[in-house]
Amino acid sequence: MVNIGDFWHVKSKAGDSWLWKQLIKSRDYAVNLLGGVENLKNLISSCYVNSKVRLSALYNALKPGSKVDRHDTVWEKLNYPKHSFIMWLAIQDKLLTQDRLHKRGIIQSNQCLLCEGAVAESRNHLFFDCNFSNCVWNGIMEWLKFKLRGKGSKQRIKRLALTATIYNIWRERNARIFKEEFRSVEQLIKAIKVDTWTILLNSSLPDEAYNWLL
Ligand SMILES: [Zn+2]
């Protein structure tokens, strides 16, 4: 077992577990981004509030810079940090989809559980090709009805709904794999709307923004 003092400098070895290697990779990513271990440690201590790390502050500080396109969409101020985080991983193709786990020999089957077709679950399938996901996307597009054309607040609401959709598709996939809980397309669309509304009602958008969606 590595003590936490070593954690900042320890290197992964051939026999280490896959999970441990991932943890070290994340650490290195953050260290590179901030230009050194000390900077990362300072950042983490600055994100403590009442002895709890404020994850949103950490996510914000570690958000990708110019390396990732569309980072405005991902780190849009209105988005939930957890939504942004999943979106960010999805864009970078870092989500642990079943095709990956299957290649590493961690699971035996890699079939997409959303459409239950005999299709391997990859990032591209899950978010862009899957029949189930497509029905969800269509429902959300229908809801927004393209009436949110234009810039400013309308653009922000669209991004918000987009990020909430990615998050909820990923969450549904996890619920099916790990809890054997299945929701229908309609239930998922409803959950995305609730998420979107919850964020909107806690934001300081102009009143007309709410009317666009009603
Ligand atoms: Zn599918």
- Higher-confidence residue of 52 and 101: namely 101
Distance CA 5, CA 8 (A): 7
Residue 189 pLDDT class (50, 70, 90 cuts):
very high
Ligand 1 centre distance from Cα of residue 135 (Å): 11
Ligand 1 centre distance from Cα of residue 38 (Å): 43
Distance CA 106, CA 13 (A): 19
Ligand 1 centre distance from Cα of residue 128 (Å): 9
pTM exceeds 0.75: no
Residue 72 has pLDDT above 60, yes or no: no
- Higher-confidence residue of 198 and 204: namely 198
Ligand 1 centre distance from Cα of residue 129 (Å): 7
Question: In the chain, where are the structural domains located?
Answer: 1-62, 66-213
Long-range (24+ apart) CB contacts under 8 A made by 98-104 are: 98/177, 104/18
pLDDT of residue 190: 95
Share of the chain above pLDDT 90, in %: 18
Ligand 1 centre distance from Cα of residue 169 (Å): 11
pLDDT of residue 79: 63
- Higher-confidence residue of 12 and 176: namely 176
Ligand 1 centre distance from Cα of residue 76 (Å): 28
Ligand 1 centre distance from Cα of residue 174 (Å): 13
- What's the mean per-residue pLDDT of the chain? 77
Ligand 1 centre distance from Cα of residue 108 (Å): 17
Ligand 1 centre distance from Cα of residue 95 (Å): 15
pLDDT of residue 52: 64
- Higher-confidence residue of 158 and 7: namely 158
Ligand 1 centre distance from Cα of residue 138 (Å): 15
Residue 134: phi and psi, rounded to 5, are -60, -40
- Higher-confidence residue of 211 and 97: namely 97
- Higher-confidence residue of 187 and 119: namely 187
pLDDT in tens, 157-184: 887 888 899 999 999 999 998 888 999 9
End-to-end CA distance of the chain: 55
